[in-house]
Amino acid sequence: MAGMNMQEMMKQARKMQEQLAQAQESMKDVTIDASAGGGMVKATVNGDLELVSIQIDPDALDPEDVDLLQDMIVAAVNEAIRGVSEVASKQMSSITGGLNIPGMPF
């Protein structure tokens, strides 16, 4: 970047800003499914890190295992959130070339 003039740097910065905005917009279409307990609990999280759905296998509903069921729900939701974060991180990294930009999510 030593030979790059200020105008060229601003042009590159605007291009990166546009790409980041497009990536953030495309995250709205991302959904990640994850499961826990061998598939007994399934969770879906969207690109805004919102829980979209939760599915519980009816065979998992043993009243004596409520604590285990709750743990599986938490595990499935957390795994889905990690998946969304990973997708977002890869998108941002491909745009920024791996640069860590303060204030950017993921």
Q: Where are the beta strands (DSSP E) in the chain?
A: 31-36, 41-46, 51-56
Residue 38 belongs to a domain = yes
Residue 45 or 106, more confident: 45
**Overall pTM > 0.85:** no
Whether 45 has a pLDDT exceeding 80, the answer reads yes
Whether 35 has a pLDDT exceeding 80, the answer reads yes
- Collect all residues with Cβ–Cβ distance below 8 Å to 88 and sequence separation of at least 6: 23, 27, 30, 47, 105, 106
How many domains does the chain contain in total? 1
Give the domain range for residue 32: 24-90
User: Cβ of 72: how many Cβ atoms within 10 Å?
Assistant: 23
The angle at the Cα of 51, spanning 66 to 77, to the nearest 5 degrees, equals 50
User: Would you state the pLDDT for residue 23?
Assistant: 75
Contact (Cβ atoms closer than 8 angstroms) between residue 56 and residue 40: yes
Residue 97 belongs to a domain = no
Whether 105 has a pLDDT exceeding 60, the answer reads no
Residue 8 belongs to a domain = no
